């Protein structure tokens, strides 16, 4: 992907992250008491709501793409050789896929599997 396109991705994910992270933080202590928000029952009910699942998956993808693309930009600024650029770009894609995959696995297991004590 062209670098200008990737910078646009960075700004779009930044704008989306501002909104999504603000909602996420407000739900952890402001709109819902903190103790209630992190209780097992509340978290489980969040994973049983379609809106909440879509929200969490969006938050996961947006924040990780923005974060790792940001690190990629920093690393490109620090050094500019062809091989370094290739390694950084490949590493960024691997990091995004691995971390989004791990987070999505948590969501899918919480949504699809039964509760154990």
Partner 1 sequence: MSTEETANNRKGVLGWINPHNHNAERWAYAFQRITGVAVLLYVLGHLGDTSFFVGGPIGTGPSESSWAFISGLVENSFGHMILVLVVLVVTFHGVNGIRLILAEFGVMFRKPRAIEYPYKPKGLNPLQRYVFVAAVAMAAIAALLAWWILFEGPL
Sign of CA dihedral 92, 72, 6, 53: positive
Tell me if residue 81 falls in helix, strand or coil: coil
Q: What are phi and psi of 76, to 5 degrees?
A: -65, -30
**Binding of partner 1 by 82 (CB under 8 A):** no
Separation CA 66–CA 47 (nearest Å)? 24
Site string for partner 1, 45-74 (x = CB under 8 A): --x------------x--xx--xx-xx--x
**Binding of partner 1 by 102 (CB under 8 A):** yes
**Binding of partner 1 by 93 (CB under 8 A):** no
Question: What distances in angstroms separate CA 78 from CA 24, 74, 81, one per listed residue?
Answer: 33, 6, 10
Among 38, 45, 86, 90, binds partner 1 (CB under 8 A): 38
With respect to partner 1, which residue has the nearer C-beta, 44 or 90? 44
Is residue 27 within 8 Å of 42, Cβ to Cβ?
no
Among 23, 33, 49, 86, binds partner 1 (CB under 8 A): 33
Among 18, 90, 93, 97, binds partner 1 (CB under 8 A): 18
């Amino acid at each position: 992907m062209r670098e200008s396109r990737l910078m646009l991705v960075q700004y779009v994910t930044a704008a989306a992250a501002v909104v999504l992270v603000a909602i996420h933080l407000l739900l952890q202590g402001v709109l819902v008491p903190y103790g209630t928000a992190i209780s097992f029952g509340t978290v489980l009910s969040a994973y049983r709501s379609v809106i909440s699942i879509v929200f969490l998956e969006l938050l996961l993808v947006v924040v990780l793409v923005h974060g790792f693309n940001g690190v990629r930009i920093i690393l490109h600024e620090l050094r500019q050789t062809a091989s370094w650029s290739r390694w950084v770009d490949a590493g960024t894609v691997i990091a995004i896929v691995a971390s989004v995959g791990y987070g999505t696995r948590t969501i899918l297991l919480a949504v699809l599997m039964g509760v154990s004590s």
